[in-house]
Structure 1
Amino acid sequence: MKNLIAFFEIPAVDLDRAIKFYQSVLNTQFTVCDWGKEKMAFFPEEDGVCPGAISWSDHFKPSKDGVLISLNCKNMETSLSLVEINGGKITIPKTKIEADNRGYFSVFIDSEGNSIGLYSDF
């Protein structure tokens, strides 16, 4: 069965600021495409497929009240320590998921105003 999520887009008001934020917090690089009225910074491929992008367009409006997606990170403490330094705000600190020893989660507001989750095994 295919993954349930085909692709996600995180809206940005300032694409360069959002790229800097996510590069720092997730220690990753992006491939940027500019089509004039729409710009996207693609997350690295996983098993040959790009899972999503940071997107800018006149009609995209970041919101802390929209759908919550959670991104995997290697080290929760390291990623969270970079959130506020890069213009974000932690709204739920590292929290143990009690069901079936599934790891940890946290939630932050990114540099654009989106509510985003993090997930880590430890």
Structure 2
Amino acid sequence: MEIKNPVGWFEIYVDDMDRAQKFYENILQVNLEILADPAKDSEEKIMMRSFPSDMQQYGASGALVYMDGLKAGGNSTLVYFSCEDCSVEEGRIEAAGGKVFKTKMSIGEYGFISLGSDTEGNMFGLHSLK
């Protein structure tokens, strides 16, 4: 049996796409790209901004998503962004409008994590090996 990584994609639901996009671009120092509206032929409004990715590398990519009728925050799924040193990205959270929930802490042999909340009320994690 072939073993595969369990996560193939993630979505972070937002109420204000411009605000959320600016937040994540600021924290992670990346540019998010506009994805085509998958519901363009219906009256439902969906906006998506994808995180940069390389399908040949370990891990999953995903997108910020605005969808009519689906509110941000209050969910129970936590996305961890990979970092060189999570304290660097953690240091950008509050200046970008978010909140630090848990400062950098050791998780033993698995490295370090920081937890924060974005401008939409979504909790997210940062992970690094140093």
TM-score normalised according to structure 2 size: 0.83
* Partner-residue secondary structure (3-state), 1:10: strand
Contact 2:34-2:49 within 8 A present in 1 as well: yes
Partner of 1:88: 98
Amino acid at match of 2:20: A
Which residue of the other structure, out of 60, 63, 68, is the alignment partner of 1:58? 68
Other-structure match for 2:125 = 117
| 1:107 pairs with 2:109 | no
Cα offset for 1:48?
4.9
Secondary structure at 1:82's aligned position in 2?
coil
- In the alignment, which residue of structure 2 is the partner of 1:13? 15
Instruction: Find the structure with the greater CA-based Rg.
Output: 2
Q: Distance in 1 between matches of 2:10 and 2:51?
A: 10
Residue-pair matches, total? 120
Whole-angstrom CA distance in 2 between matches of 1:65 and 1:74:
27
Structure 1: stretches of 5+ with no match in the other structure: none
Distance 2:6 2:36 in 1: 28
SS at match of 2:47: strand
User: 1:81: Cα distance to partner?
Assistant: 1.1
- TM-score under structure 1 length normalisation: 0.89
C-alpha separation between the residues in 2 aligned to 1:73 and 1:64? 25
Structure 1 residue 74: Cα displacement: 2.4
CA shift for structure 1 position 47? 2.5
Cα distance in 2 for partners of 1:117, 1:51 equals 15
The answer (yes or no) to whether the contact 1:64–1:109 under 8 Å persists in 2 is: no
Distance 1:56 1:65, change over 3 A: closer
Work out the percentage of aligned pairs sharing the same amino acid: 32
Q: Which residue of structure 2 lines up, in the alignment, with residue 68 of structure 1?
A: 78
